[in-house]
Amino acid sequence: MVYGTEVFLPAEIGQGSDRIMAYGENNQELRAMYLNLLEENRTRTAIRLAAYRKKVTRAYNKRVHPKAFQEGDLVMRKIQHQGERGKLDAKYEGPFKVIGKSGIAAYYLEDSQGKKGKSPWNAQHLKRYYP
């Protein structure tokens, strides 16, 4: 007795699948041909993958607007801890003078009294000041 499945006779179990029944000598030749084309298929796939990655990178970089400042530029610095501030209060403080660069997009700042900052600020948190 079998519950939920179809019953197989012992004679049916002994028969091979269609794939095994259709196997012949020309299959060896086809297999060799497919193995020879394997490297070409991999190369084609790698080219398609590189084109796809380039397209995705271009689409992503379309929205990225890098900020670059020179030494001596005046910038405003984002206020990090808002605390008890209201939504109408200023979101930036400054102006600060750029006195140096640290890495790709980090800058050392100096306030109007000449006091230098301890750590660099990321350009993402700065915006140009126009007097």
42 and 14 share one domain:
yes
pLDDT in tens, 50-102: 999 999 999 998 988 888 899 999 999 999 876 787 888 888 998 999 999 98
Q: What is the pLDDT of residue 9?
A: 60
Is the pLDDT reported for residue 10 higher than 70? no
Q: What is the pLDDT of residue 13?
A: 58
Please report the pLDDT score of residue 86 as a whole number: 80
In a domain, 115, yes or no: yes
Indicate the number of domains in the chain: 2
Q: 95 near 112, Cβ under 8 Å?
A: yes
Q: Is residue 5 part of a domain?
A: no
Burial of 43 (0-12, 13-18, 19+ CB in 10 A): exposed
Last residue in a domain, options 61, 84, 100: 61
> 8-12, 42-46, 97-101: which has the minimum mean pLDDT?
8-12
Look at residue 23 and tell me whether its pLDDT is greater than 80.
Answer: no
82 with 47, same domain? no
Query: Measured in Å, how far apart are the chain's first and last C-alpha atoms?
Result: 91
Instruction: Answer whether residue 46 is part of any domain.
Output: yes
| Domain assignment present for 54 | yes
Domain that includes residue 49, residue range:
10-61
